[in-house]
Structure 1
Amino acid sequence: MDSGKSSAVCDAFVAKPKPELKSKLGTIVGIIELFAQPDEFVDKFFEIINDLETEYYLPPFETEGGIEKRFEECLQRANRRIHKAINDSVIELEPKNINSLVALIHHGKIYLSQIGQNNALLFHRKKQYDYIIVDIFSQAGDKTSKINSEKMFSNIINGAITEKDNLFFCNDSVLEYISQNELMEIITEESPASALKEIESILKKDSQDNNFYAIAIEPVIKEDKFTEQLIVSANNTMPEIEKPRVPSQTSINKLISTQENTEKYLAPSMAPNWKKALVITVWGLRVVTKFIIKYLKIISLEIIKLSKVTFNYIYHKFAKQKLNNRDTSTINSDQSLNPNKPTIDPSENTQTSYSHKLKENKNLFDTISDFINRQITKFVSLNKLQKSLFITGLVLIFFFSQSMVWQGQVVTNSEKTSTSDIIKQIEDNLNAGEAKNIFNDEAGSKESLQLAINLLSQIPNNNKYQATKNELQSRIDDLNRSLQKIVYLDNPETISDLFNQNESADLSSMTISGNYIFVFDNNNQNIYKIDLEKKQTIAKKLPQNFSNVRKIAAIDDNKVLLLNNDSELYTYNLETNLAESSLTNKDKITDISLYGGKLYALIADKGQILKHFPVDTGYNSGSSWIKDGTDITDIVTFTIDGGIYTINDTGNIKYLLSGKLMATNFSEVNPAISSPKQIFTDGDSSYLYVLDQNNQRIIVFEKNSGNIKTQYSSKEFSNMKSIIINSKEKKIYVLANKKIYLINTDN
């Protein structure tokens, strides 16, 4: 939408690299807005941005540090050239008149940098038709800051985008005519091309005096598969823009949610209402008490008179009615027995019979009436002070009972309000946690998640809130799985079903050599050799009983070490079907591992790992490997990659190099590791694998950072026994439920 005016020069662009480069390096997009700048600088600036795009796709393509480092280096070169262009300009330039945004999108990740004032909106879908609007530059820190001409692009904001996310970049003019909510509805309900056409139609009537430009990016469905659509706007008259500033952060480390704090402080307090109620109640009691004391005598006499009249009326009416009914019944009965007997008029001698019958028919009503009359008589006999105290007591009892009713109502309403507030706080924390997680602020997201979990426990356990609790718990579980990077495998591939070999199999351990996997069965003392290429399983019966073998380790394709519960170590040869003792030490061995042809044995009760060299009879007596006295008495298993990783029963991981403890910082896992069965890595792998049997999962840590890379779990992983990792082929083999499963990974 070009107005034809020359005060502003604008552009919106999307790079179009070759498919192989797009897959390897991603796609660069950007928007530029310059106004009131000399032509020489405008041409130079556009040349610099164009060269930035070109340089990014130049070889070499394997850049150390990854694409973020490559992108950062291109921005640094652009900064130097922009600074030089500003200094070389004969006319003094206004940096505040420069607005530019450059973004790199690659495999579900986005990297953003800007000069001046731009808008980057992310529409994140929580569930169908329910979106969070994240103003990226605003929530990454101050939207603008003072510009440093030496570092125009001074900050890179990065984050992950998923199939739940839509991205929209635009200048301020767009937001002056279309709100963020309206943009969200348009962008999320239509394809980018259709959405931009609709936005263009809305803004068209205002394009004579304003300049509009935007880029819309649809959700990422699969890696390397997204579509960018844009509106290109050229020279136009721009409204005055505030002095731009550059964000001070280097990444979006925290998205701040102010709504929950605002609502917290704006929420009305019940305390003033209670104070008012208390004041009114005390004032009312004083007024009533003064009135009663002033007119006590008159009130007392009137109450007595009214009570007597009322009770006499009720009593006589009731008694007379009952007597008439009985007399009528008797007359009718007599008449029926003796028809010739003259009819007696019930009204005759009424006064005499009434008095007589009344005495004969004294009942509970009469007793109550007599009791009340006696109490009234007692009250009348009281002196003035006693009467005052009595009546005041009755009034206080009345007000106390009413206050209990009022309090019950207020408590009920307060509970409803409190529960609604708790639900709102949980939703706000979950929204904040999801937004922080989008931009890799794991610490902030976990903090928000924990607050939501704590608040959820405060919602009452009744049917009224059960559906809401279930929905919130589901969102908590989803966010936790996302933060913990849990991958659920519905139907992992089965490599071998050892149940077919022995229905009562007691499988203890698994090892690998080349294309062969070995598994030991304590039930029948068989060792199974699985050919991974041919998918065949061969069973070999051992020549003797080795008493509960708990760990095996492959020496080569035909020899396997066997460690039993008596700490006896044997070398078994599958070709000759012979087993020989390999270690004469009497130490209690907790675990073993082979590395570089040498045997390492964990002697946990002595807090030592022994390194054994091979000899003709098996292995020598060994030497102590730990040099600094590190306490490993609680260690349950270990693995080697040149150094040694150990883990205890609570999941605490240590790393020792050259026999000395090194600093580590492995992330906490939720739920915590419980009784790990095995730990694995090797020199070819950048990852550490932990078999957490009790939680039916395999946890993958990055060795360098200690962060969680992935967690694999499946309903099929019951009774997990052992894992094998082939780092080169990126495969994990899992022994569980008498089967061997295969997981293909990107680790």
Structure 2
Amino acid sequence: MPNLTIQKISSGENKELGTYCQIYADERFILLSGLSSPLDEKIRKEEKLKFLKEFNDKFVEFLKKNSLEIKFEELLKKANQWLKEEGKGEIESNFLLLGLKNEKIYFSSLGDIGIYLIEGREIQDISQKSEENEFTQLTSGALNEGSLMIFATSDLSPIRIEDVNKLEKIVKQSRSGAILKIENKSFKEILKEFSPETKAASARFEKPRLLTKKLSYPQKSLIVILIIISLLFVQNLFFNVKQKGTVEENNFKNKTSLIEEKEKEIFLLSLGDREKVYGLLSEIENLLGELQQGNLEEKETFQKLENNYLDNLKKFFAYTVVSEPKLLVNLELFDKNFLPTKLIEMENNLYTFDPKNNYLYRIDKNSGKIFLLKDTRAQIEQIFAFDKDSFVILDKKGNFTSFNLSSGELKPLKLERSHELKKIEDFSIYANRIYTLEESGIYRYRKTADGFSREEKWLKESADFKETKAMSIDGAIYVLGPNEISKFYLGKKENFGLEKILPEISNFFAIFTNAESNYLYLLEQNRLLIFDKNGKIIKQISSPKFIDLKGFIVNEKEKKAWLIEGQKIYEINLF
């Protein structure tokens, strides 16, 4: 980890307070240990300090012998074994074990250690809270360039963004704390560290001197002629540029005048005139794209016109921009290769899976903490909530499995098929029945005692599903095709469509609704679209953070949605 810097700040031992905070580090492992909880008079200070010192000594001695060979997981097991052997469960101690390997950071904490991730001006508390007197959670990941992590004993928490540059002062004032700071410095920051020496070295160089000789009269005449020719050329060039600038300036003014005329027309229209507004705003959008901004005045004019355009989008097409959506969890800290695409929501948790290794995960909606549930050993394609205790998994071969949240048991679900299965594009569960979307149609499987019945063709007429992407059910079935949505009810297609909106819909790929929902939710690459069930736009939610959205889930009662953007899951308010 060439750009990784580690700063250790510790107050050491304080016999008066009965605390002991130390940080030990070798080339691969770091131990932060501390006791900063309120003193229990039943346990003497000396006994507490002795216990912590013994643990530190064992850790250091063990690492000196095994540091290059031992794995981090083995070190955690060894640490838990030491704690168990000592039998000091009544002593409230705080430990952080941290390892560095292959540009990744591995860490696990016990007790009350504050853990913070800082990216830019955003600080996120990712502390591991555990009531067990052992190391139970392991987190790993890589720090982005310019980011840093802070590990602090409990008496120093919470760490705020304004505290980052005065950590030494905070530890000194506490008299009983310890902080470990790990930073992935950018190349630019590392370069700055050498700037004083660079400046000093450059000051030692003299300015180069120009060597000239006297010119003869003919040479001087020739230079004068060349200068005159050059001036004439520059004058002609300036005239041509000025002419071109005048044409471009007139072109800019003509187009801005056109835009302003159309804005005046829109001003006189009401919400009931969306079709007219759609045409006028489409023309304004094209004209804005053609405007070439030169001087400062033109740039300011363009910004004003663009703001007017966005205001009209908001007024007539409910377009909303969320500048800073809430970051619930950054999965890169857990595994830099973890790229989920599906989410479901049950009770106070979100559930997802890693398509790379097919592990199931639970994410606490309130804290953003992530927990490994199960290694399914199946190629997971999709998951869907079944009841409050379980959800159903679809694998790439078309097999269904039930996962019980209480027992952690995976149970294959029996489905009988008489048709040739090529690929299930999507599936949904409604009224205890599984519905599958396939190229050949929509099939329904009824619940039985030991699984599900033989499939039934749900459609009562032919339909083209060759380019379908997803479906959702509220009694009717909504099927997503390329830039269109089809509605089927009682096996037949109904007359249904979405009203035209701006920005135009280019490629939605995910849909959500259910029987309790009043709306249809559609996901594009950079926004969430909300329509009523007659196809009228209710709201559009976009953000500078939304660049390549992959999946989402909605809780309409809570008026919230969670969206997957790369390795980050954001939480937004719907209304």
Residue of structure 2 aligned with 1:657, choices 489, 495, 501: 489
The structure in which a higher percent of residues are strand is 2
Alpha-carbon offset, residue 701 of structure 1: 0.5
Deviations 1:100-128 (A, max 9, x none): xxxxxxxxxxxxxxxxxxxxxxxxxxxxx
Which amino acid letter does the alignment assign opposite residue 512 of structure 1? E
Partners of 1:572 and 1:579 within 8 A in 2? yes
**Match runs of 1:503-518 below 5 Å:** 503-518=336-351
Which amino acid letter does the alignment assign opposite residue 698 of structure 1? L
Partner of 1:284: none
**Match runs of 1:20-31 below 5 Å:** none
Confirm or deny that 1:733 pairs with 2:565. no
Distance 1:493 1:567, change over 3 A: same
Q: 1-side partners of 2:370 and 2:330: how far apart? A: 9
Alpha-carbon offset, residue 531 of structure 1: 4.1
Alpha-carbon offset, residue 682 of structure 1: 1.3
Q: 1-side partners of 2:570 and 2:367: how far apart? A: 16
Partner of 1:570: 401
Q: 2-side partners of 1:436 and 1:678: how far apart? A: 33
Partners of 2:413 and 2:451 within 8 A in 1? yes
Q: Which has the higher contact order (CA 8 A, sep 6+)?
A: 2
Distance 1:632 1:511, change over 3 A: same
Partner of 2:531: 701
Distance 1:517 1:419, change over 3 A: closer
Q: 2-side partners of 1:616 and 1:435: how far apart? A: 64
Matched residue SS, 2:337? coil
Partners of 1:513 and 1:555 within 8 A in 2? no
Partners of 2:341 and 2:564 within 8 A in 1? no
Partner of 1:442: 274
**Match runs of 1:295-374 below 5 Å:** none
Alpha-carbon offset, residue 415 of structure 1: 7.9
Which amino acid letter does the alignment assign opposite residue 737 of structure 1? G
Partner of 1:634: 467
Partner of 1:722: 551
Distance 1:550 1:451, change over 3 A: same
Partners of 1:516 and 1:557 within 8 A in 2? no
Distance 1:424 1:567, change over 3 A: same
Which amino acid letter does the alignment assign opposite residue 341 of structure 2? S
Q: 2-side partners of 1:721 and 1:518: how far apart? A: 15
Q: 2-side partners of 1:558 and 1:413: how far apart? A: 72
Q: 2-side partners of 1:459 and 1:603: how far apart? A: 46
Partners of 1:508 and 1:551 within 8 A in 2? no
Alpha-carbon offset, residue 667 of structure 1: 1.3
**Match runs of 1:487-566 below 5 Å:** 487-532=320-365, 536-542=369-375, 544-547=376-379, 549-566=380-397
**Match runs of 1:546-625 below 5 Å:** 546-547=378-379, 549-574=380-405, 575-585=407-417, 587=421, 588-604=423-439, 606=440, 608-625=441-458
Matched residue SS, 2:280? helix
Deviations 1:400-427 (A, max 9, x none): xxxxxxxxx9999888766544322211
Q: 1-side partners of 2:308 and 2:544: how far apart? A: 21
**Match runs of 1:86-105 below 5 Å:** none
Partner of 2:540: 711
Q: 2-side partners of 1:414 and 1:505: how far apart? A: 54
Matched residue SS, 1:479? helix
Which amino acid letter does the alignment assign opposite residue 490 of structure 2? S
Which amino acid letter does the alignment assign opposite residue 551 of structure 1? Q
Which amino acid letter does the alignment assign opposite residue 492 of structure 1? P
Alpha-carbon offset, residue 429 of structure 1: 0.9
Residue of structure 1 aligned with 2:318, choices 477, 480, 485: 485
Which amino acid letter does the alignment assign opposite residue 559 of structure 1? S
Deviations 1:705-743 (A, max 9, x none): x21110112233344232222223322222333333322
Residue of structure 2 aligned with 1:689, choices 508, 517, 521: 521
Matched residue SS, 1:432? helix
Partners of 1:495 and 1:535 within 8 A in 2? yes
Deviations 1:356-377 (A, max 9, x none): xxxxxxxxxxxxxxxxxxxxxx
Alpha-carbon offset, residue 489 of structure 1: 1.6
Distance 1:721 1:425, change over 3 A: closer
Alpha-carbon offset, residue 472 of structure 1: 3.0
Distance 1:654 1:521, change over 3 A: same
Q: 1-side partners of 2:286 and 2:510: how far apart? A: 33
Partners of 1:434 and 1:479 within 8 A in 2? no
Partner of 1:4: none
Q: 2-side partners of 1:582 and 1:656: how far apart? A: 27
Runs of 5+ in structure 1 lacking a partner?
Answer: 1-408
Alpha-carbon offset, residue 611 of structure 1: 0.7
Deviations 1:515-540 (A, max 9, x none): 33211112333211234467654312
Partner of 1:669: 501
Runs of 5+ in structure 2 lacking a partner?
Answer: 1-241
Q: 1-side partners of 2:324 and 2:250: how far apart? A: 46
Matched residue SS, 1:504? coil
Which amino acid letter does the alignment assign opposite residue 646 of structure 1? V
Partners of 1:492 and 1:742 within 8 A in 2? yes
Q: Is the radius of gyration larger for structure 1 or structure 2?
A: 1
Deviations 1:378-418 (A, max 9, x none): xxxxxxxxxxxxxxxxxxxxxxxxxxxxxxx9999888766
Q: 2-side partners of 1:619 and 1:637: how far apart? A: 22
Which amino acid letter does the alignment assign opposite residue 550 of structure 1? E
Distance 1:536 1:506, change over 3 A: closer
Alpha-carbon offset, residue 629 of structure 1: 1.8
Q: 1-side partners of 2:554 and 2:290: how far apart? A: 44
Which amino acid letter does the alignment assign opposite residue 596 of structure 1? A
Alpha-carbon offset, residue 599 of structure 1: 0.4
**Percent identity over paired residues:** 25
Q: 2-side partners of 1:583 and 1:715: how far apart? A: 44
Question: TM-score by structure 1 length?
Answer: 0.40
Q: 2-side partners of 1:709 and 1:442: how far apart? A: 13
Question: TM-score by structure 2 length?
Answer: 0.52
Partners of 2:413 and 2:452 within 8 A in 1? no
Alpha-carbon offset, residue 430 of structure 1: 1.6
Alpha-carbon offset, residue 624 of structure 1: 0.8
Which amino acid letter does the alignment assign opposite residue 426 of structure 2? D
Partners of 2:266 and 2:280 within 8 A in 1? yes
Which amino acid letter does the alignment assign opposite residue 715 of structure 1? P
Which amino acid letter does the alignment assign opposite residue 545 of structure 1? R
Alpha-carbon offset, residue 557 of structure 1: 3.8
Partners of 1:570 and 1:583 within 8 A in 2? no
Partners of 1:717 and 1:737 within 8 A in 2? no
Alpha-carbon offset, residue 466 of structure 1: 4.7
Distance 1:568 1:478, change over 3 A: same
Q: 1-side partners of 2:292 and 2:477: how far apart? A: 49
Partners of 2:342 and 2:551 within 8 A in 1? yes
Matched residue SS, 1:436? coil
Q: 1-side partners of 2:497 and 2:324: how far apart? A: 33
Computed over aligned residues only, the root mean square deviation of the Cα atoms, in angstroms, reads 3.2
Q: How many residues get paired?
A: 330
Q: 2-side partners of 1:489 and 1:460: how far apart? A: 28
Alpha-carbon offset, residue 664 of structure 1: 1.5
Distance 1:528 1:469, change over 3 A: same
Alpha-carbon offset, residue 639 of structure 1: 0.4
Q: 2-side partners of 1:414 and 1:533: how far apart? A: 59
The structure in which a higher percent of residues are helix is 1
Distance 1:454 1:739, change over 3 A: closer
